[in-house]
Structures are given as structure tokens and as C-alpha cells.
Chain A
């Protein structure tokens, strides 16, 4: 079965500093997507960044970047120049490219940004 594990329930970062959130996953598939979603108190999940497994280059979106290690099944999120608005729950997610395209989420990491 496919699983996603986030081992950091909570992380803190000083404003303007850099923080890395960890995620590991397990799958026997070779082609899939990985995602990081942000969930603020409004509850609406917002896509932060997406990585396609067949691409070796790590995805970047402005202050957000990933370190994708396919062999190790690791997918960490780096947030640079942290801002107060980055405070939220962050979920790592996996989606296979076969079957029903079911998204599997980790248990989340709560990020606190300290002023």
C-alpha cells in the first residue's frame, strides 16, 4: 500500500529565516506526482508546489523549493525568507498516475513563524 509519512508534527522558524519540512513516502509505482499543500485556519487546501517523479530537476516556486530524492523516496520542502503568512499546516501528498488518481496525504506539519 502507498503511504506518506511526515515525522515532524510541528516546526518553528524565525521570520526571514529558512525552514525545511520532511516527507517520506512508499510506493512501488515508477510514475507519480508529489505535492505540498498548505492549509491555513480557513481550512482550504492550497497547492504550494508539485513534483513529477520522472523529472530529476527539483521544482521551485518563488520562495518554495523541494529536494526530491526518488531512490530514497524522500520529498522535503524548503521555505526561504519565511513570512508570517507562511504559518499554517503543511501536508505532503502523493498521487499515482494510474487507477483512480487517489491522492494520499501525510499527517501534516504545523509551521509556526516567529516575529
Chain B
């Protein structure tokens, strides 16, 4: 149980295009989902927190108009990187909190490798 999937696993796009990444909880209802980015050999940095049906809360320094997050259902959250540039190239990872489990436990997806040319 507690499986989180991400799609796509890797994407290459041209500078200026937008890319959408999906995060799904497969066997539980995710009341809260989180989006992280991770640069090579670095730790995970929280970008934003989203609760189903409400606007995402972004961490300081993260542009909400560039990284659009939608959490429209209890099993799906999407991150759209708008007008991507090479500096947006990174490993994006989502996680989800199961509302029926102890509150802090998060389950992570496999990540999406974004490369912007």
C-alpha cells in the first residue's frame, strides 16, 4: 500500500515551453501533497504544499506563476513548469500524505527528471 506514481519519469523540452508533471496516489486518498526539487548531489527542497480543493502554499523564493500547482482531486496533483528555461532543469519529486495515517508520514513518488534545452 501507500504507492505514489509520477508521470513522466523524464522529459526533455525546449526553452520557453511548458511542461506538466502528474503525481498520483494509487491506493490512498492524499489530503495533502508536496512538491520538491532536487539538484544533483543536493538535498530535497520543498517548493509548495497543496491541499485538495484549495490553492497551494509556496515556499519563499518559489515563483507561483512559474510553477503552477493544481490539486483537483484526492488522488491527483499536477505541477506545470511554465516557460521553462535551462535553470529549471532539475529532479522534481512529489509526495503525499495519507489522511488516514499518522499525520506526518509522507510517501514519495519516483521523481521526474526535467531537462530544458
Q: Judge: A and B partners, yes or no.
A: no
A interface residues with partner B (beta carbon < 8 Å):
none
Residues of B in contact with A (beta carbons under 8 Å apart): none
